[in-house]
């Protein structure tokens, strides 16, 4: 394998499996993995705890004022996983709850929130050797990333995967609410003004509807190898 360190951007629809494949690739090649969605989820959790989200409506002015108080980071755990830290508190499980999923896209449309998190994400990539997944990584955060992948699958397939994941983790959810959430977030993410979810022109598309986890991980690793060994 070449020693050249690159930036890898994995974007795509909610619950498309991009986080698991991005994480697996990072661990296979010894890169750092950053889940940018976790950062939007952590800001959303903070806003919810501070009474700034009422039945899907966000108090934008109050949240924007409070942004300097919100510190987000990632902490590696001894078992190889990593936890999302919100002001030094491990919120990894809490940010995956349905209540957070139901509000996160409304928080992620706020330009000031995006500017702050994008700057933080760019900082993480300064040394390269990073795999980051999200919605706008290949378009806005790292437009010059050497490897860009855009992951897609049908809404039903994605909702089935997310439902199974939540049930396995003991997070309460019904299939119908998960499907509704997936479709709604797709819509908000694709139609927002500030860095909407969109495939970068130079991204490689992966539709993994019919692929196993092993197959998609192999696909990603061989794309990586072809890019780092190209020159
Ligand atoms: O895990 P899942 O794919 O369902 O979502 P996520 O990656 O945890 O992201 C949660 C939400 O954060 C998305 O639905 C987007 O609204 C927002 N997000 C974003 O706007 N930009 C990113 N780079 C990552 C996430």
Select from 35, 108, 138, 152 the residue to mutate for testing ligand 1; criterion: most ligand atoms less than 8 Å from CB.
108
pLDDT of residue 4: 82
* DSSP-derived pairing of the beta strands 72-76 and 82-86: antiparallel
Tell whether ligand 1 has an atom less than 6 A from the beta carbon of residue 186. no
Q: What is the mean pLDDT of the chain?
A: 94
Q: Angle at CA 79, nearest 5°, toward 73 and 85?
A: 15
The position carrying tokens 């192999």 is: 218
Ligand 1 proximity of 192 Cβ (cutoff 6 Å): no
Query: If we measure between CA atoms, which residue out of 50, 17, 51, 53 comes closest to residue 35?
Result: 17
**Rounded to the nearest whole angstrom, what is the distance from the C-alpha of residue 114 to the centroid of ligand 1?**
11
Size of the chain, expressed as the number of residues it contains: 231
Atom 23, ligand 1: residue with shortest CA distance? 134
For 11, other C-beta atoms within 10 Å of its C-beta total 28
Between CA 35 and CA 45 the distance in angstroms is: 16
Q: What spacing in Å lies between the alpha carbon of 227 and ligand 1's midpoint?
A: 26
Residue 8 has pLDDT above 60, yes or no: yes
Put the strands of the sheet holding 147-152 in their side by side order: 32-35, 130-134, 7-12, 147-152, 204-207
pLDDT in tens, 27-75: 999 999 999 999 999 999 999 999 999 888 999 999 999 999 999 999 9
Place of tokens 């390269």: 128
**Banded pLDDT at 1 (limits 50, 70, 90):** low
Three-class SS of residue 114? Answer: helix
Closest to 160 in 3D by CA, of 172, 178, 183: 178
Measured between alpha carbons, how far is 220 from 24 in angstroms, rounded to an integer? 9
Q: CA–CA separation, 147 vs 7, rounded Å?
A: 7
Output the residue whose Cα is nearest ligand 1's atom 7: 37
Segment 145-167 mean pLDDT: 94
Sequence-distant (≥ 6) Cβ neighbours of residue 175 within 8 angstroms:
159, 160, 163
* pTM score above 0.85: yes
């Amino acid at each position: 394998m070449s020693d050249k360190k690159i930036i890898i951007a994995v974007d795509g629809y909610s619950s498309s499996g991009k986080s698991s494949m991005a994480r697996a690739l990072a661990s296979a090649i010894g890169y750092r993995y950053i889940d940018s969605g976790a950062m939007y989820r952590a800001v959303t959790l903070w806003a919810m705890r501070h009474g700034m989200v009422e039945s899907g409506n966000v108090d934008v002015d109050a949240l924007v004022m409070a942004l300097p108080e919100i510190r987000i980071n990632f902490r590696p755990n001894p078992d190889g996983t990593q936890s999302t830290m919100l002001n030094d508190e491990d919120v990894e499980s809490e940010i995956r709850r349905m209540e957070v999923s139901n509000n996160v896209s409304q928080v992620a449309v706020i330009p000031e929130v995006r500017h702050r998190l994008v700057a933080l994400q760019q900082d993480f990539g300064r040394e390269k050797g990073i795999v980051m997944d999200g919605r706008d990584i290949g378009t806005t955060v790292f437009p010059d990333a050497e490897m860009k992948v855009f992951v897609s699958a049908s809404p039903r397939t994605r909702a089935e995967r997310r439902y199974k994941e939540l049930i396995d983790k003991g997070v309460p959810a019904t299939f119908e609410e998960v499907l509704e959430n997936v479709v709604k977030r797709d819509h908000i993410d694709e139609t927002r003004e500030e860095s909407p979810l969109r495939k970068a022109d130079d991204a490689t598309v992966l539709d993994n509807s019919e692929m196993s986890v092993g197959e998609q991980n192999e696909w990603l690793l061989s794309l990586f190898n072809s890019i780092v060994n190209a020159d």
